Structure 1
Amino acid sequence: MTKSSDALKVAVAGVAGRMGRQLAAMVIDRGLVLAGASEVAASGVFDEDAGVLAGRRAVGVWPSPDVQEAADGADVWIDFTRPEATLAALGALRTTSVRAVVIGTTGFAPDQEIVIQAASARFAIVKAGNFSVGINLLQALTRLAASRLGSGWDIEVLESHHRLKVDAPSGTALMLGEAAAAGRGRSLGDLLAKPYLGPDAARKEGEIGMAVRRGGGIYGEHEVMFGATREVLRLSHMALDRTVFAEGAVAAAEWAAAQPAGLYDMNDVLGLGHTA
């Protein structure tokens, strides 16, 4: 396929990883330009075409351990790596052509979130714990349900992921917890329950509980349970293919490229709003 000279140019971080390959493949499948790719120095993939790594045709782009080189000529940087790598990339991108950044990395500490907020003065940043359209609709429904159901309804978030996932709870579970807390006019920091463990682990009214499971190759399963004395409401989502996350991230890249600098999330991309 011949690319238009004005087609969006996208660079993908961590292109040899599972998510990086999916992102690169989605960029190519949507007819965009895979303009660059990065990978850690120990990866040993620098003589492999990024398109081939993604299971697609060769695109004449080879991974680089240098973010500035990888982003050279790109409009958007997509990063699903690790907190330290993402923050380092944000610093390096300041001297490149990149004007928008999509961040799917999770597990940021509060002080790292401040760095991202500061970087949004320079870039249009779309940051989300999950880029699945279904998950983001679940987030909106969770916020709505929490706003309509009183404190007599207990809220519990359950998430399951593959055994290799390093952060817990998942960024998506925290997203859903924040949505539930926002529906009640509070922050998750105020309402999050400690793990239920030991003889004094009784649930407290109004708290939001969170449970984590790790095993096998589960892409991602999330459930928000609202439990009252006489009835239970469950809202859930299951990812059947990692492609759903790449599809949402690349759609976010296309949207972000047309936005002014600022910090956005998938509610903005999908027009779901931020209020209950």
Structure 2
Amino acid sequence: MIRIAIAGVAGRMGKTLVQAVADRADDARVAAGTTLADDPQAGQDIGLIAGTGMLQVAASTSLDSCADSFDVLIDFTSPAATLTHLNACRRQKKAMVIGTTGFTAEQKQQISDAANDIPIVFAPNMSAGVNVSLRLLALAAKALGDDVDIEIVETHHRHKKDAPSGTALRMGEVIADALGRNLDDVAVYGREGISEERDRKTIGFATIRAGDVVGDHTVIFAGNGERLEITHKASSRMTFASGAVRAAIWLGDRSPGLYSIDDVLGL
């Protein structure tokens, strides 16, 4: 039985994660959770906060204060909060699943450094479908090569702060790697005004923030006379939450290291 802690239990994703763990009652349980210090729900039962029923576990405002209660932390909060939790897990020798997006290169390096001491699954998207689509994107990029224009379009709810999404950026990285390019050199983030015609070696990104869309990603490979589109649409946050819980259970007996969802899925 893996004892799981959830960061930000009062948030949209935090509540969904509590529900996802509750669905795995045979091999995992919610053992701890955190809220912001000024959250009115701090100290309340995590199950009541998430709407799953009483769990007899109170939400804490400090991860260190409940470190003895859990084995793995799942974190989908914000870059700054995640790094604070990362340092706490590193001190306490606790495993961590990180689904937060929007990290800088320097912040990603901090995660890599922490993986020398604790096991970490770090992925911008915990969905099995998305990670299968990454394999398809690499295949399409290698097959179509320089004969197509490549554009990535992503849509998320109006509350999402980082853009493009971590998943869209990961898709771009996979495609660029397959083509022997560096994404930093070829990425184009939005188009405006009058400029030269499109450079075929570039990879374009378009971002939409609207309504309550959980997450849609489409990669377009457009050539002369035909167009291939690979799309993934998430209709529920439970998709990501279930993947994260699966990763937390998988981490239960792992050695320190930085792992991906590919590792969890055996890809």
| TM-score, length basis structure 1 | 0.93
C-alpha contact 1:47 1:62 (8 A) present in aligned 2: yes
What residue in structure 1 maps to residue 119 of structure 2? Answer: 124
C-alpha contact 2:96 2:121 (8 A) present in aligned 1: yes
- Greater Cα shift, 214-223 or 85-94: 85-94
The alignment status of 1:83 with 2:79, answered yes or no, reads yes
Which sections of structure 1, spanning at least 5 residues, go unmatched? Answer: 1-6
- Greater Cα shift, 23-32 or 89-98: 89-98
- Whichever residue aligns with residue 78 of structure 1, its letter is I
What residue in structure 1 maps to residue 231 of structure 2? Answer: 236
Match of 1:54 among 50, 57, 64: 50
1:175-212 C-alpha deviation (Å, 9 max, x unpaired) = 11111112112332122124211111632111111100
- Whichever residue aligns with residue 10 of structure 2, its letter is A
- Greater Cα shift, 53-62 or 105-114: 53-62
CA RMSD for the aligned pairs? 1.2
Within-5 A mapping of 1:169-248:
169-200=164-195, 202-248=197-243
SS of residue matched to 1:181: helix
What residue in structure 2 maps to residue 262 of structure 1? Answer: 257
What residue in structure 2 maps to residue 14 of structure 1? Answer: 8
- Separation in 2, partners of 1:118, 1:90: 11
- Separation in 2, partners of 1:168, 1:216: 16
The alignment status of 1:149 with 2:144, answered yes or no, reads yes
The alignment status of 1:36 with 2:49, answered yes or no, reads no
Moved over 6 A (4+): none
The alignment status of 1:110 with 2:139, answered yes or no, reads no
SS of residue matched to 2:64: helix
Deviation at 1:16, TM superposition (A): 0.4
C-alpha contact 2:122 2:259 (8 A) present in aligned 1: yes
Would the alpha carbon gap of residues 40 and 109 (structure 1) be closer, same or farther in structure 2, given more than 3 Å must change?
Answer: same
Which sections of structure 2, spanning at least 5 residues, go unmatched? Answer: none
- Separation in 1, partners of 2:182, 2:22: 39
Deviation at 1:70, TM superposition (A): 3.3
C-alpha contact 1:161 1:221 (8 A) present in aligned 2: yes
Would the alpha carbon gap of residues 238 and 122 (structure 1) be closer, same or farther in structure 2, given more than 3 Å must change?
Answer: same
| TM-score, length basis structure 2 | 0.96
Deviation at 1:147, TM superposition (A): 1.4
- Greater Cα shift, 173-182 or 13-22: 173-182
Deviation at 1:243, TM superposition (A): 0.6
SS of residue matched to 1:115: helix
- Separation in 2, partners of 1:191, 1:216: 30
Identity of aligned residues (%): 43
